[in-house]
């Protein structure tokens, strides 16, 4: 980065500081990952200079010979990896990909169903704060007290509301998705079943989670979570989808361009192609299975230490710790102080609110990229449990207005805590043994 360093030291220094933060800390946000050096190289290329509205060999601007090759490779790799006949690799990210699905198959005012946000669902699946609920009639389904999807409720709601589209997929669901059962419900009411596999795409390719390819009509995903790619999105249409509507691929293409987006981000497309190439290697399968093994090992150790996990464990890459009413923020901030990064998150039937949720969400994709295994998971789980123990006296205040006072006290406590300083040093030592990029 010699030019950047000379020309804009403020930005250069902030990037270097972020490199150091990621290198010296444990990134446990389950939707984050360390993209490979080849992916990062593809992102920083002259492809960012180009406009390519349209699709390969059908563009609106000249000079597309190289971009057409790149996008075609990305499409073909996506089709092969997921076993589908159609792929669009142009969505800027997951939310635009999901919006394109609505535009392709629904009319404004149509009814759609999705997993309730506090139950782990995604904003774009119809949550009230998302624009999707402004344009569509959205019905939320839930998980049962054991943390599994409530299939009985889903079936009842589907029969009652006859949705045009049913989403399956989430941002905070620790169990395997029952794609086959949901496809039966969707077929019964004539709805499109759309699987949003953003969180689990890499696990599906690795064979560590069932694939929705035989059961859903459409699949959407981001490319920067367990797929280990650049920030980006994809929309896939399955054979089942084309059987329901042979025009579905064309409708998706039109929804992305010209209806919702302009020129594709060609540097991102190239990096997606590289990602998909990497995901075809046998080592990717091994990695995907290790992510799940690591999550299970961490979950077991956390529970052994007395922490409460939503659904008492995990089938995938992520876990949700129930910290007690409104206490997610305390654990997030205390762990930040020891170099462990995760995010506060709602838990099913959260007694608090999305801004002051009662849980934290954590996962193993990033640290598995670094080569960490079950032994390290146990160590990390014990640090988390130690930190939780240390902050046990801090409760969310009865009156929300008092939060500012409590959090101020809490931050002073964190700042002065000797145990946290010790754990932070130990975290750094562990990270040094598992370098991220400087191998
Ligand atoms: N922000 C993503 C996540 O963290 O799961 C979802 O869009």
Please say if the pLDDT value at position 439 is more than 80: no
Residues near 250 by Cβ (< 8 Å), separated by ≥ 6? Answer: none
Per CATH, domain 42-279 is 3.40.640.10: yes
Nearest to 138 by CA among 148, 147, 149, 127: 127
pLDDT for 438 equals 64
Q: Whole-model pTM? A: 0.96
Is residue 124 within 8 A of residue 99, CB to CB? The reply is: yes
* Mean local confidence (pLDDT), 20-45: 97
> What percent of the chain stands above pLDDT 90?
98
pLDDT for 124 equals 97
Please say if the pLDDT value at position 23 is more than 90: yes
Please say if the pLDDT value at position 27 is more than 90: yes
* Mean local confidence (pLDDT), 255-271: 98
pLDDT for 354 equals 84
pLDDT confidence band for 10 (50 / 70 / 90): very high
Asked about 231 being catalytic, the answer comes back as yes
**Mean predicted lDDT score pLDDT of the chain:** 97
Rounded alpha-carbon distances, angstroms, from residue 237 to 31, 191, 215, 277: 23, 15, 11, 20
pLDDT for 148 equals 98
pLDDT for 401 equals 84
Asked about 124 being catalytic, the answer comes back as no
Please say if the pLDDT value at position 149 is more than 90: yes
Atom of ligand 1 nearest to the CA of 222: 7
Mutation test of ligand 1: which of 171, 227, 231, 320 has the most ligand atoms closer than 8 Å to its C-beta? Answer: 171
CATH topology of domain 290-433: 3.90.1150
Rounded alpha-carbon distances, angstroms, from residue 410 to 45, 51, 392, 394, 403: 45, 50, 11, 7, 10
Domain ranges of the chain: 42-279, 290-433
Please say if the pLDDT value at position 252 is more than 60: yes
Helix axes 266-279, 65-82, angle to 10 degrees: 40
* Mean local confidence (pLDDT), 296-320: 98
Q: Is the CB of 94 under 6 A from ligand 1?
A: yes
Q: Is the CB of 31 under 6 A from ligand 1?
A: yes
**pLDDT digits over 122-135, tens only?**
999 999 999 999 99
Q: Is the dihedral of CA 213, 214, 219, 221 positive or negative?
A: negative
Atom of ligand 1 nearest to the CA of 172: 5
Asked about 59 being catalytic, the answer comes back as no
pLDDT confidence band for 399 (50 / 70 / 90): confident
> What percent of the chain stands above pLDDT 70?
100
């Amino acid at each position: 980065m010699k030019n950047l360093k000379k020309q804009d030291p403020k930005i250069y220094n902030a990037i270097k500081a972020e490199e150091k933060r990621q290198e010296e800390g444990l990134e446990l946000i389950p939707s984050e990952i360390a993209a490979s050096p080849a992916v990062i190289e593809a992102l920083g290329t002259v492809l960012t200079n180009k406009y390519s509205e349209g699709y390969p060999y059908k563009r609106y601007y000249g000079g597309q010979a190289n971009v057409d090759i790149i996008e075609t490779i990305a499409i073909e790799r996506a089709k092969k990896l997921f076993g589908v006949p159609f792929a669009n690799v142009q969505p800027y990210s997951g939310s635009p990909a999901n919006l394109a699905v609505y535009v392709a198959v629904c009319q404004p005012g149509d009814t759609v169903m999705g997993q309730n946000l506090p139950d782990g669902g995604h904003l774009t699946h119809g949550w009230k704060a998302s624009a999707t609920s402004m344009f569509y009639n959205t019905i939320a389904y839930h998980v049962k007290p054991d943390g599994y999807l409530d299939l009985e409720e889903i079936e009842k709601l589907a029969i009652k509301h006859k949705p045009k589209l049913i989403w399956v997929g989430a941002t905070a669901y620790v169990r395997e998705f029952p794609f086959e059962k949901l496809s039966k419900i969707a077929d019964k009411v004539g709805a499109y079943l759309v699987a949003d596999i953003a969180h689990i795409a890499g696990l599906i390719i690795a064979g560590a989670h069932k694939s929705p390819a035989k059961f859903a009509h459409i699949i959407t995903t981001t490319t920067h979570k367990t797929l280990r790619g650049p920030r980006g999105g994809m929309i896939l249409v399955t054979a089942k989808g084309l059987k329901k509507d042979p025009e579905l691929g064309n409708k998706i293409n039109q929804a992305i361009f010209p209806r919702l987006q302009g020129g594709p981000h060609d540097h991102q497309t190239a990096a997606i192609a590289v990602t998909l190439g990497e995901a075809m290697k046998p080592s990717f399968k091994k990695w995907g299975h290790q992510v799940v093994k690591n999550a299970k090992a961490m979950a077991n150790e956390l529970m052994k230490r007395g922490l409460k996990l939503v659904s008492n464990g995990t089938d995938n890459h992520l876990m949700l710790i129930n910290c007690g009413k409104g206490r997610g923020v305390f654990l997030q901030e205390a762990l930040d102080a020891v170099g462990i990064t995760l995010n506060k998150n709602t838990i099913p039937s959260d007694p608090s609110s999305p801004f002051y949720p009662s849980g934290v969400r954590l996962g193993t994709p990033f640290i598995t990229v670094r080569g960490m295994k079950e032994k390290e998971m146990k160590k990390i789980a014990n640090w988390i449990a130690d930190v939780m123990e240390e902050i046990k006296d801090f409760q969310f205040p009865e009156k929300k207005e008092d939060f500012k006072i409590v959090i101020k006290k809490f931050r002073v406590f964190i700042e002065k805590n000797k145990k946290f300083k010790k754990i932070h040093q130990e975290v750094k030592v562990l990270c040094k043994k598992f370098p991220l990029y400087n191998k």
